[in-house]
Amino acid sequence: MNKISAALTTAVLAAGLTVAAAPLSSAATAAPAPKFLTASELPHASTPWHADKVKKGLPGSQSFCTRGVIPAAKTSYRDFRTELDTGARQITHTAATTAKAKKLVTDLRKAFASCADRLEHKYPSVEAKGKYHGRIDVEEGAYVYSLDTKDTEVGSTDINLSSVGRDGRTVTYVDWGQMGDLKDAPLKGFKKTTRTAVAKLY
């Protein structure tokens, strides 16, 4: 895998209720944890998807585009992999307030939009092209982006699809990547996956 694949892709590239009863008071119930995608809800791939367990915090290897944007606290993630080069990841963060959740969506969208320029600046041998693919009408909305990269030193090409959506104070970010170009990517299927990811949070 070339250096851009390693930087961009996703490592390729507590859902119960807690009830505390107090004497002479009503039971206090913790909010349920947001739900994550399952392997069957990812876009079709040439080999089966496998889902890792949901883990707390941020992954050790993060996307070049969004590194440093998502807080580690109140964050969980799940990695997905296939038997070939296709991989995906979902990261979900619950903010303290709706305003902070809105800001995180804005910050992620800015990170997606500026990623191609930042990549070309950091890696002179890389040609990158980002594209916005529109808004999905689900809960408070979701937004889809693509990033096409070519490493001219080795001649390899990679395509990443990324999305961010929000339901109240919770923001979820889905990233998908494989070798190839945008024409090879399951954009329609990824949009469906994004809709599902946001809709099933709660």
Per-residue pLDDT tens for 146-192? 999 999 999 999 999 999 999 999 999 999 999 999 998 999 999 99
What digits encode the pLDDT tens for the residues 81-115? 999 999 999 999 999 999 999 999 999 999 999 99
* Rounded Cα distance, 169 and 95, in Å: 5
**Do residues 51 and 80 touch, judged by C-beta distance below 8 A?**
yes
- The burial class, CB within 10 Å (0-12 / 13-18 / 19+), for 180 is middle
Q: Is the distance from CB of 159 to CB of 180 less than 8 angstroms?
A: yes
Distance, in Å, from the CA atom of 168 to the CA atom of 93, rounded to the nearest integer, reads 11
Task: Assign 3 to helix, strand or coil.
Answer: helix
118-159 pLDDT, tens digit each:
999 999 999 999 999 999 999 999 999 999 999 999 999 999
Here the tokens at position 168 are: 């109240």
The pLDDT, as a whole number, for residue 24 is 37
pLDDT band at 17 (very low <50, low <70, confident <90, very high): very low
pTM here is 0.86
Residues paired with 128 in a beta bridge:
149
What pLDDT shows up at residue 59?
96
pLDDT in tens, 18-54: 323 334 333 345 678 999 999 999 999 999 999 999 9
pLDDT in the model for residue 199: 98
pLDDT of residue 7: 53
Strands, E, within 43-196: which ranges?
50-51, 55-56, 75-81, 87-94, 126-136, 142-151, 156-167, 170-179
Asked if residue 3 has pLDDT above 70, the reply is no
Considering the domain 3-199, what is its CATH architecture? 3-Layer(aba) Sandwich (3.40)
* pLDDT at residue 4 in the model: 53
What kind and span of H or E run contains 20? strand 19-20
pLDDT of residue 5: 53
